[in-house]
Structure 1
């Protein structure tokens, strides 16, 4: 069972009220290219929200459980709240086309560690086409990074254009790599219209704050 979605006046998806029946956690997917900072964003969100919410995390890697192991080493949540899927296939296949392994992992996590308020589902590193099935998650975040160059937002792709939130990470590297944040903001606006985007630098204290605020807004409407 998944949450119904409608579109606002801009055409952006709006998460509606929680589905009828037994309460379940809000599910948010995080996708983006390799090295963009997805796992670091998940870790930062867990640290920021774990005192106020009951959280769980599902990670995806093709052949390993490396991202889950990273989260476990850094003790962002209790071990029983973190699980991994080794997809054995292209990452976006497991989050968009055949979601069965991920859906089973989410449901088992809720059964084991629940009741949960929020489950974060991290995709394996993918390209700008990566999107999540709405049968798996209720909202999706797409993470890109400044180190990839200020051209990334204008390249578009479903991840950049259609995610509920676009995160432009590693702003602390902009000067070092010659990236213009104003250009990235302009192009993100052109590609996304009214859909939100935020800049983050996870190297800074509370650098994940803009993403945390967005997640709290989604939770406030979950019921």
Structure 2
């Protein structure tokens, strides 16, 4: 985790799951342009008719990702909020997570009970990971156009995320990417941790990610029944 001190959160965040439960929180990280926001949008469209979903986006100085989701009308506008980190995205999702925790809690308080909150990191490199004090599970999104050597390069995002999404598979023929090699390298880096290959903008492209989220929700509901 690249820190020499334990995570200490304000008292309001230290009490654990509040009475009545809280939403499952899933973080999405990955390099710039890999398709994180498109993945969030596709998940919202696929799940919004049966789940109460909220989204918190992170950008350094803007609300660009939140504004994109609002323009796409993937959720009611009151369920989408943004954090301007003002610094490296690592800071707001892994080290000083207080702004994101506050945004998540204020969102749930404002719109009522939610089933799922998606926390999207600002675009970062292969070392981006979420604090377990912020999210319950994390997805790391890379894309084929970024190079078919990315899984082999590893890094905490690739090797430790609960789900690795290799996005934009439709571009593989155009950029000379070897999907079979990417799959082998991903398994070598991740062992038994799951990997899905998809193009989230294509019809049904989000289905493998939606299925994984459904499994996490089922386990969450059972554990907090």
Describe the SS at the equivalent of 2:220: coil
- Paired residue total: 209
Give the alignment's Cα RMSD to 1 decimal. Answer: 1.4
**Following the alignment from structure 1 to structure 2, what is the Cα–Cα distance between the partners of residues 91 and 126?**
7
Q: Tell me how far 1:203 sits from its aligned partner.
A: 3.0
Going from structure 1 to structure 2, the CA distance change for 1:152 and 1:26 (only over 3 Å counts) comes to same
Which of 91, 94, 100 is equivalent to 1:93? 91
Going from structure 1 to structure 2, the CA distance change for 1:117 and 1:2 (only over 3 Å counts) comes to farther
TM-score, normalised via structure 2 length: 0.91
Q: Tell me how far 1:55 sits from its aligned partner.
A: 0.3
**Following the alignment from structure 2 to structure 1, what is the Cα–Cα distance between the partners of residues 200 and 27?**
19
1:156 aligns with 2:176: no
TM-score, normalised via structure 1 length: 0.91
Matched with 1:179 is 177
Which of 37, 54, 57 is equivalent to 2:55? 57
**Following the alignment from structure 1 to structure 2, what is the Cα–Cα distance between the partners of residues 117 and 21?**
15
Matched with 1:193 is 191
Describe the SS at the equivalent of 1:124: coil
Gaps of 5+ in 1: 5-18
**Following the alignment from structure 2 to structure 1, what is the Cα–Cα distance between the partners of residues 206 and 136?**
20
Which of 95, 110, 122 is equivalent to 1:124? 122
Q: Tell me how far 1:188 sits from its aligned partner.
A: 0.2
Instruction: Verify the 8 A CA contact 2:42 2:201 in the aligned structure 1.
Output: no
1:205 aligns with 2:203: yes
Q: Superposition pairs for residues 1-223 of structure 1, below 5 Å?
A: 19=17, 21-223=19-221
Gaps of 5+ in 2: 1-12
